[in-house]
Amino acid sequence: MTQLLKLKTGSKFEEIGSYSRAVAVDNWIYVSNTAGRNPDTGEIPEDALEQTEQVFRNCEKALAAVDSSLSDVIVSRVFIQSPDDVHAVMTFVGHKFKGIDPASTVICPPLGSTVYKVEIEVTAYRGAAQAKTTYINTTKA
């Protein structure tokens, strides 16, 4: 039988929007688009890189709550409000995903508020970190 787990963090935004921070369906884990708001203080840094650091802390906490980690991430979607912040944000994202190498989409749309400079959504598969991985490079040498 399929097991469904819905993670709530107590965020008022989860209540207002009727969503879960993460939903796990068996080994598939879907983490909602996550902003850089500190859940303990409610504060959000003004700097895009600082927001990105907090986004990852929030995502890692959600994944850990459902017995997973960044190492299990297979898809990331990175939303960066300003194209001017792309290089700094993606350098940090690249550092966090070094060796994990998920499929990734990066876009620069307006976000739900001008306060949010970065949001990230991830899809993980519990146990992917232990899976045998083969890399295929289509670049001609």
Other Cβ atoms closer than 10 A to 90: 16
Task: Label each residue of 18-58 as H, E or C.
Answer: CCCCEEEECCEEEEEEEECCCCCCCCCCCCHHHHHHHHHHH
The whole-chain average pLDDT of the chain stands at 95
Rounded CA separation 79/34 (Å):
10
Cα 11 from chain centre = 17
pLDDT tens series, the chain, 141 aa:
999 999 998 888 889 999 999 999 999 999 999 999 999 999 999 999 999 999 999 999 999 999 999 999 999 999 999 999 999 999 999 999 999 999 999 999 999 899 999 999 999 999 999 999 999 999 876
The answer to whether 75 and 102 have CB atoms below 8 angstroms apart is: yes
Locate all alpha helices (DSSP H) within the chain, ordered by sequence. 12-17, 48-65, 86-96
User: What residue ranges define each of the domains in the chain, with the CATH number in brackets?
Assistant: 4-130 (3.30.1330.40)
pLDDT score recorded for residue 11: 86
DSSP class of 109:
-
